[in-house]
Amino acid sequence: MESILNYIEKNIERNGKLSKDFTLAPYKNMNPNAVNFADGAEDGIRLYHMKTEPDQEIIDEIIDLIKQVNEDNIEQTCVAIDKLYEEKSIKTFHNINSIIHGIKENADEINLDAMLKFSICVVVNTRNVEMMKLGIVVLGMINISENKLIVELIQKIALSDELTLYANYAIEAWDNANDVRFMLAKKVEGWGKIHLVSTLEVTSENIREWLITEGCKNDVDLGYLANVVAHKINLTNVLRRNNLNKRELNGISEIMEGLLEEGPCEGIEEFENYIEILELYIDKFKSVIDDINFYHIPVVILEFLSQKNLTPEEQEIVTTIQNLIESSNAVQTLKQAIKSGDMQQFGQALKVISFDKNIELSDDIFEAFSQSPFERFYAFEHLLKTQIYKEKAIELMEKSQNFEQHYENPKPILWNNNEYSTNLIFIIQMLSGYPFVCSNIVAAGLMSKTMQPRNAALNTIKNWVNISKKNIEEFPPIIYSALQKLQKTEIIKSYKERINNLLGIQEDLSNYKEPEIVMNESEENEINIDLFSDDLENIFEPQIRFRGKDYFENNMIYSCIQKENKYTAYVQGTEFGKEYQVEIKLDGTMVKNINCNCPYQNNCKHEYATILWLRREIKK
């Protein structure tokens, strides 16, 4: 496996960002059967929510090794610390401040030049994520701001959400630290953005304006940055502006959402003038009452205030919002959102309608739902609560698919992100409170190949038992029959135990070993497309086809071995001395499987180049 730094560098796109699906998971010993943290999440959660105690014994061992480092033993020291990290599964975050303190305390005994070379050696060569963090932190204790090469490396490393927190330590001592943070904050979206924005200073109007429009948005939780950004921009003063445009108001809406929802950090009540902030926002909402995309904040405000003993000022805000969303302009906006059929807009409208019983648009909702019940499942729950449309909606949903054609034997596949599977899960969850409604859909969940629909169906059936007080034998035959069939074929131990419990079957599963769980169906799917079919082109993104064609035409495939039905091609990389290995399995001319050992997550240019090479060779 290549070094972490090389892996990061290869995934940086021309826009200076890491590819959207980049992750350091291959370097983190992820366990498919356990809860695994997304990049940066474990350290971020510990930083915000948990007090961590340093391990003094480990700290002392690390400091002792750093004290011993000299010009002649740099590589040996790297190997020794790497071994220590592996053997003791060290988490750098727990010990970071103590390590910094220990190095400072022992500065007189440390060879700083050797320590610099040691930290560079770690950062450039390590394949251990936690040791990489140590190398970055140690590097940050030495003034390297004049070394352009190392500065560039730190900036590249900072793009990884797993490492941004530590790169931020290193950046802190640079003269242009704030400019670098601002540049990087625009290139990250996850935990890295949270760390960078939290330490960013508002030294210019450009920074302030970016914080207004983009500063709070992140892929983790708006609550981590809402309070920070609100203070940095002076939210009250911004809301007093007369000329806020939609981009600014959208950014402010994200800040408001993060402040109002019960999140990880202090919310809106931390502001002494939060009543004024709410009033100012509602006043701005009037200017976008024709845009459904802004309606979620008034609803969030109503939800927030509904949990309080209202003061007269708060009650006035509630009344103002209700008057606004019940106005003819608002009702027209809600109707248009429903008519559009767009899931996001439709969902926004449903939230408003469900919160304000004075808005009655069930006719519009049913009309939109009836056009495509399975695809517009998000309207189903609302219709189940109506008297006039409940039975009609149920009938339409039951007939919306030929569910039996999707029946398959259970497999240890956790998730299938196709429309059928995703919609099925949501519908089954909606049915949890409605015993025996759409039993054919719940049965379809039981008969699904992937695990998530089966799990949803078992949960719903358990809830039906609790609500109805009926024995499972009294359930609709389609449910009872599907459960009995699944009891014989289910391969996930915990699922099998739940089925046995529902059916009253005693079975000793103490020695049962379930197969390894595959996270996503795509991990084990065959392609099954003819080598010469245009359909094969569609599994490659357009830019990948363009690059792959360039590789093919420039003879970048310099060797290909065939063994039975498997072709192994060796493809020259962009860098000299770097090659990638592509494996393609064929059945006749049917492509069954394609794999490449490059870090690109989807079908890559090396694979496409090999496809073109195979087409030429087979035609010969």
pLDDT digits (tens, 9 = 90+) for 14-29: 888 998 889 898 888 6
- Asked if residue 506 and residue 416 are part of one domain, the reply reads yes
Looking at the whole model, is its pTM more than 0.75? no
Q: What whole-number distance in Å separates Cα of residue 307 and Cα of residue 305? A: 5
- Asked if residue 68 and residue 188 are part of one domain, the reply reads yes
pLDDT digits (tens, 9 = 90+) for 239-253: 999 989 999 999 999
- What does DSSP assign to residue 530? E
Asked if residue 207 is part of any domain, the answer here is no
Structural domain of 567: 526-619
- Asked if residue 171 and residue 109 are part of one domain, the reply reads yes
Backbone angles phi, psi at 571, to 5 degrees: -120, 130
- Asked if residue 240 and residue 194 are part of one domain, the reply reads no
Is the pLDDT higher at 81 or at 371? 371
pLDDT digits (tens, 9 = 90+) for 60-117: 888 888 888 888 888 888 888 888 888 878 888 888 888 888 888 888 888 888 888 8
pLDDT of amino acid 33:
46
Percent of the chain with pLDDT over 90: 56
Q: What is the CATH number of the domain that holds 604?
A: 3.30.310
Domain boundary among 201, 230, 253: 201
Asked if residue 208 is part of any domain, the answer here is no
Asked if residue 211 is part of any domain, the answer here is no
Asked if residue 213 is part of any domain, the answer here is no
pLDDT of amino acid 523:
47
- Asked if residue 181 and residue 42 are part of one domain, the reply reads yes
Residue 30 has pLDDT above 70, yes or no: no
Q: What whole-number distance in Å separates Cα of residue 390 and Cα of residue 347? A: 19
Domain boundary among 381, 398, 415: 398
Residue 2 has pLDDT above 90, yes or no: no
Q: What whole-number distance in Å separates Cα of residue 200 and Cα of residue 207? A: 9
- Asked if residue 330 and residue 238 are part of one domain, the reply reads yes
Q: What whole-number distance in Å separates Cα of residue 207 and Cα of residue 215? A: 9
Asked if residue 209 is part of any domain, the answer here is no
Residue 317 has pLDDT above 50, yes or no: yes
Asked if residue 212 is part of any domain, the answer here is no
pLDDT digits (tens, 9 = 90+) for 130-145: 889 988 988 888 877 7
pLDDT of amino acid 433:
95
Domain boundary among 346, 363, 398: 398
Average pLDDT over residues 224-235: 96
- Asked if residue 356 and residue 226 are part of one domain, the reply reads yes
Residue 38 has pLDDT above 60, yes or no: yes
- Asked if residue 95 and residue 13 are part of one domain, the reply reads yes
Count of residues making up the chain: 620
Asked if residue 60 is part of any domain, the answer here is yes
- Asked if residue 22 and residue 135 are part of one domain, the reply reads yes
Q: What whole-number distance in Å separates Cα of residue 241 and Cα of residue 237? A: 7
pLDDT of amino acid 88:
76
Q: What whole-number distance in Å separates Cα of residue 333 and Cα of residue 340? A: 11
- Asked if residue 310 and residue 174 are part of one domain, the reply reads no
Residue 32 has pLDDT above 50, yes or no: no
Q: What whole-number distance in Å separates Cα of residue 598 and Cα of residue 6? A: 12
The continuous run of DSSP H or E covering 584 comes out as strand 579-587
- Asked if residue 233 and residue 132 are part of one domain, the reply reads no
Asked if residue 78 is part of any domain, the answer here is yes
Average pLDDT over residues 359-376: 94
**Residue 608 — very low, low, confident or very high, per pLDDT cuts 50/70/90?**
very high
Q: Into how many domains does the chain fold?
A: 4
- Asked if residue 326 and residue 424 are part of one domain, the reply reads no
